[in-house]
Amino acid sequence: MIIARGLTKVYGDFTAVDGIDFEVRKGEAFGLLGPNGAGKSTTMKMIASVSKRTGGELTILGLDPNKRGPEIRAHLGVVPQQDNLDRELKVHENLFSYGRFFGLSRKFLKNKVEELLEFAQLTEKRNSKAEELSGGMKRRLTIARGLVNEPEILMLDEPTTGLDPQARHILWDRLFRLKEQGVTLVITTHYMDEAEQLCDRLIVMDKGKIMAEGSPADLIKRYASKEVLEVRFGSSKNQEVAEQISHLGHRTEVLPDRILIYSENGEEDLQAILKMGLEPVTSLVRRSSLEDVFLRLTGRTLVE
């Protein structure tokens, strides 16, 4: 569906995307993971065929987006980072109006709009102006709008940023259903849980480059241990304690507020710490996540 080879985007003397390679296959949910400014959104804009690459190759649905933009866009569903709904139009008019841009007939759209309203759980809000909706509703409407042409590829840029937990879960559920449908999803996020929930495969980006690629489970296996023990001794003591316990686990990582110990058995390591007579303020044993992968790869946390 999408093939990128040495894909590059340079703005003036700033290289936003620095020669990345990846492929997205039909029907998979592909994630671009990374902190703000990693080049995810720029990559998305190039795939969305609105921003032209400055180097490398990019093929979407077999076509070159620099030359055949409108043709490719006919088969994409785009959910931008920032909702760009028409505030003056009613909810159902937003869907209808957008559908017309694809040249879809009024008759087809009449039914389609009702289906999408149901899908987005906005049937009761159909006659509200878009500007009157809550953040979660606007997001759902934007996603529904992106489905009006029954796209081959649905692109979601930070789909749940700024949403409350309940709204996020509703959205994830909707996206999951689409995936079951066979729609190819391309998702950017800086939320690890979101990536783990939704993506079959992902690339971790930082400073315009790809740091790693694989399924969430793969990446965790490759770059992190099975478990993580998190201990806090108070910010002034963390560094000092870390030196004393550096022999525990495979690896330790000192963050400003806590120490992470990567190990096969976090509980055992915690007991070892207690035996040494050290008393952490708080302690937590958890499974490794993509957050740890990112930390390992870049030496930084994702959300700073």
Partner 1 sequence: MSTTTPVEMPVHKSQWQGSKKLVNVSRARNFAWLHVTEARLRNMMKWWGSIAAFGLGNPVLYLFSVGIGIGALVDANGGSTQLGGVSYLTFLAPALLTSAAIQAYQDETSFPVMEGFLWDKNFFAMNSTPINARDIVNGVMASAMVRTLVTVAIYEGVLLAFGAITFDVALPMFFSAILAGAAFGAVMMAVTTFVKEDDGFFAIVGRFVIAPMMMFSGTFYPLESMPSYLQWVGWISPLWHGTDLGRTISYGSPQQPWVTMFHWVYLTIWLAAGLAFAYRQVAKRLSA
Pairing of strands 76-79, 55-60: unpaired
Whichever of 138 and 190 has its CB closer to partner 1, that residue is: 138
Residue appearing with tokens 């390679």: 21
Whichever of 79 and 248 has its CB closer to partner 1, that residue is: 79
Can you read off the two tokens belonging to residue 38?
């990693």
Q: Does 88 bind partner 1 (CB under 8 A)?
A: yes
Are the CB atoms for 206 and 301 separated by under 8 Å? no
Q: Does 169 bind partner 1 (CB under 8 A)?
A: no
Q: Which position among 2, 147, 163, 212 is part of the footprint of partner 1 (CB under 8 A)?
A: 147
> Of 148-156, 208-216, 232-240, 284-292, which part binds partner 1 (CB under 8 A)?
148-156
Q: Does 9 bind partner 1 (CB under 8 A)?
A: no
Q: Give the contacts of 165 (CB within 8 A, at least 6 positions apart).
A: none
Q: Does 76 bind partner 1 (CB under 8 A)?
A: yes
Which residues between 91 and 130 bind partner 1 (CB under 8 A)?
A: 93, 97-98, 100-104, 108, 111-112, 115-116, 118-119, 121, 123
Q: Does 82 bind partner 1 (CB under 8 A)?
A: yes
Q: Does 135 bind partner 1 (CB under 8 A)?
A: no
In this structure, the chain runs to a length of 304
Q: Which position among 25, 26, 36, 84 is part of the footprint of partner 1 (CB under 8 A)?
A: 84
Cα–Cα distance measured from residue 117 to residue 122, given in angstroms and rounded to the nearest whole number:
5
Whichever of 55 and 69 has its CB closer to partner 1, that residue is: 69
Whichever of 182 and 299 has its CB closer to partner 1, that residue is: 182
Can you read off the two tokens belonging to residue 125?
């809000």
Q: Does 64 bind partner 1 (CB under 8 A)?
A: no
Residue appearing with tokens 């400055």: 54
Are the CB atoms for 17 and 62 separated by under 8 Å? no
Rg (CA), the chain: 22
Cα–Cα distance measured from residue 92 to residue 111, given in angstroms and rounded to the nearest whole number:
11
Q: Which position among 85, 163, 212, 224 is part of the footprint of partner 1 (CB under 8 A)?
A: 85
Q: Give the contacts of 184 (CB within 8 A, at least 6 positions apart).
A: 1, 24, 25, 26, 27, 28, 29, 30, 152, 153, 154
Q: Which position among 151, 216, 249, 266 is part of the footprint of partner 1 (CB under 8 A)?
A: 151
Q: Give the contacts of 172 (CB within 8 A, at least 6 positions apart).
A: 160, 194, 197, 198
Could you tell me the smallest distance in angstroms from the CB atom of residue 165 to partner 1? Answer: 18
Which residues between 176 and 215 bind partner 1 (CB under 8 A)?
A: 177-178, 180-181
Q: Which position among 64, 71, 213, 218 is part of the footprint of partner 1 (CB under 8 A)?
A: 71
Cα–Cα distance measured from residue 288 to residue 228, given in angstroms and rounded to the nearest whole number:
6
Query: Where does this chain bind partner 1 (CB under 8 A)?
Result: 48, 50-52, 69-71, 73-76, 78, 80, 82, 84-89, 93, 97-98, 100-104, 108, 111-112, 115-116, 118-119, 121, 123, 145, 147, 149-152, 177-178, 180-181
